Homo-oligomer: A and B are copies of this chain.
């Protein structure tokens, strides 16, 4: 099998590339999948993006992102995100659920708000052929981005819904430290709820704001191959998406970074 058969590049990894540049690079390098973000898609145009990707024969593995359910008024925007996912032809909308409400200190209450929002959003997404994928974010984001900090918590939020409607994202960067994550991965796989599998490495020191320090594959502390094998063993056969937010990578030539990322994927994850 082609080494890159399951590889998908999340566009944030090479955000210095325009959508046409990215699509062209994927075609030239034999990268079959891309993960998209709403903002650059909107800037290029939703229909234009869908057509560009479709004509190139690429699979859109995920759209990032819906969520932020813990602040008021987000449901309309989440329905729009579902519609955009459907228009792009992807079956998976990634959810970053939101942190504490302003001034809040109650994480369980924030998770309840998230559960309530899913009850509204999941049937709507299902009606559009889109699965919701709850992404647990590293605990360092619990206050301001995502009150869902573990795969166990994400699964608990997903389990009231059919697996075809709501599942989870397994992202090595966010869960690698968690001794309970391997068991949760097996459970998620057995339930058919691994809706996305994403790779990034953990490097230190973290940059200020801790948003743009995700390491290139192989540069950090995560045994990426062990995680790929674990997710495979859980029954997952889908795309493997590489999503890096990294100032150093963004400062370089995008095509070079994409080539490097594909090489690192083969070397460290396959």
Contact = CB atoms under 8 A, between A and B. Distances in A.
B221 A104 contact: yes
A139 interface: yes
A16 interface: no
A105 B139 contact: no
A144 B204 contact: yes
Contact of A179 (B107, B144, B210): B107
Contacts of A86: none
A45 interface: no
Number of copies: 2
Contacts of A87: none
Contacts of A176: 107, 142
A246 interface: no
Interface of A is mostly: loop
A210 B149 CA distance: 18
Interface of A: 100, 104-108, 138-140, 142-144, 149-150, 153, 176-179, 202, 204-210, 220-223, 226
Given A206-B208, A206-B210, 17 more contacts: A105-B221, A105-B222, A105-B223, A105-B226, A107-B177, A139-B139, A139-B177, A140-B206, A140-B210, A142-B177, A143-B202, A143-B204, A143-B220, A205-B208, A205-B210, A206-B206, A208-B208
25 contacts: A104-B221, A105-B221, A105-B222, A105-B223, A105-B226, A107-B179, A138-B139, A138-B140, A139-B177, A139-B178, A142-B176, A143-B202, A143-B204, A143-B220, A143-B221, A149-B177, A149-B178, A149-B179, A150-B179, A153-B179, A205-B208, A205-B209, A205-B210, A206-B208, A206-B210
